[in-house]
Amino acid sequence: MVTPRSTRLRLLAIGGSLLLFTAPAVAGGQAAAAQPHPDGVPLRELGARQGIRIGAAANPFVLEKNRAYRTMLADQYGTLTAENVMKWDTLQPERGVFDWSHADALVEFARKHHQGMRGHTLLWHNQNPKWLTEGGFGPEELRSIMREHIRTVLERYRGRVYAWDVINEPFRDEGGELRPNMWLKTLGEDYIAEALKTAHEADPDARLYINEFGIEGRNAKSDALYELAKSLLDAGVPLHGIGFQSHFRVGGVPEDLAENMRRFTELGLEVTVTELDVSIGMPAGEKELRAQADDYRTVVETCLAVSGCKGVTVWGVGDADSWIPSWFPGWGAALPFDQGYAPKPAYSAMQEALGR
């Protein structure tokens, strides 16, 4: 079954900048298909037995429309991450005007299903409203806008969101340099410490993360992140964890994932796999699905083997709601459930890794 193009997330490139339209990713009609029920103990339960949390990124628009999605999310996952609705453009679309409706819907779903909630994300270079990116703010004003946003969001969800990706993707796509985003350009490197401190004041119990991609193995980028984390900790900045996004291509899980995670945990930080998916060049055959299952198994086993790894979150529920096909044409089938929310070999591999 193919999700109609029109219901997918669409990207529009205008004048070199990406405008994102998050449309309901799954047609309601798909919910009418036979409801697949995976065998065995749900991932959330297996994870809890092992002391780690197995979570998924969630989208309230799909949640509303698709029963299979809703069921899998509630039954299988012990934590939710807001895939989009806690990003700045959704939460504060106009200056000083907050729209909590979509984020609240997820937080409420999580409460009802006894799930933890991860907050994603406070400062990023994408999915920001125009008033913010095009406001031409000087350092003093931008700093106060930043502090106000963080404070307002964290205070609202205090006690209901246990961890926040305070900083998302602070490094350039490749290499070890900080990304010259609006925050860095206007406030300098200190924006990171400032944001973490502000978040900590607003919710002293929340676990505060820097979340990044391409840092899963040892390389220039993860080395730079390591140095940054170390210097923040040395300066007494409240940083508690590193999010390993882990958007892999099949066969691409680095061999030194565990070793790399450990150097961060040895600094006293926790680590979490925050956005796991494993893309396959389409069409995906049996062989690729088996290789993908091995990758999922490896990541879960690695988290279990690294004390200080708190959990694994997959970036979506099933292939029908994954961001991959829209963002990386020709790639897909990246999640443990398929287009109709039936479990794939990757699902069983995660169960096995968690000891069934």
Q: Which residues are catalytic?
A: 169, 275
Give the DSSP per-residue string, 78-138.
SEEEESSTTSHHHH-SBTTB---HHHHHHHHHHHHTT-EEEEEEEE-SSS--HHHHTS---
Minimum distance from residue 49 beta carbon to ligand XIL (Å): 29
Of 48 and 184, CB closest to ligand XIL: 184
Total of residues contacting ligand XIL (CB under 6 A): 9
Supply the DSSP symbol for 15. Answer: T
Q: Which residues of 140-158 are buried (b: 16+ CB within 10 A; e: fewer)?
A: eebbebbbebbebbbebbe
Phi, psi of 73 (to 5 degrees): -60, -45
Among 52, 56, 83, 116, binds ligand XIL (CB under 6 A): 83
**Distance, CA of 299 to CA of 152 (rounded, Å):** 35
The radius of gyration of the chain from alpha carbons, rounded to an integer in Å, stands at 19
Cβ atoms 275, 57 nearer than 8 A: yes
Q: Which of 7, 66, 76, 84 binds ligand XIL (CB under 6 A)?
A: 84
CB of 128 to ligand XIL, least distance (A): 12
User: Considering beta carbons, is residue 9 or 280 the nearer one to ligand XIL?
Assistant: 9
**Contact flags string 25-64 toward ligand XIL, x per CB under 6 A:** ----------------------------------------
Q: How far apart are CA 177 and CA 180, in angstroms?
A: 9
Nearer to ligand XIL, 279 or 348 (CB): 279
Structure token pair of residue 185: 């350009």
Nearest CA to 86 out of 211, 192, 2 is that of: 211
Nearer to ligand XIL, 83 or 216 (CB): 83
Total Cβ atoms within 10 A of residue 319: 24
Examine residue 121 and say whether the peptide bond preceding it is cis (omega within 30 degrees of 0).
yes
Q: In sequence order, which residues have a C-beta less than 8 Å from that of residue 354 and are 6 or more positions away? A: 43, 46, 47, 49, 50, 54, 300, 304
Give residues 247-276 in contact with ligand XIL (rule: CB under 6 A).
Answer: 275
How long, in residues, is the chain?
356
Nearer to ligand XIL, 246 or 348 (CB): 246
Q: Which is nearer to ligand XIL, 304 or 321 (CB)?
A: 321
What is the nearest approach in angstroms of ligand XIL to the Cβ of residue 237?
Answer: 21
181 binds ligand XIL (CB under 6 A): no
Interaction residues for ligand XIL, span 89-148 (CB under 6 A) = none
Contact 133, 89 (CB under 8 A): no
Between strands 270-281 and 309-314, the pairing is parallel
- Of 192 and 304, the one with the shorter C-beta distance to ligand XIL is 192
| Minimum distance, C-beta of residue 45 to ligand XIL, in the bound complex (Å) | 26
Residues 286-315 that bind ligand XIL (CB under 6 A): none
Can residue 20 be called a binding residue for ligand XIL (CB under 6 A)?
Answer: yes
Residue 323 interacts with ligand XIL (CB under 6 A): yes or no: yes
Site residues for ligand XIL, window 147-176 (CB under 6 A)? 168
Closest CA to 298 of 220, 243, 353, 231: 353
Residue of this chain nearest to ligand XIL (CB atom): 323
- Residues in the site for ligand XIL, rule: CB under 6 A? 9, 20, 22, 83-84, 168, 245, 275, 323
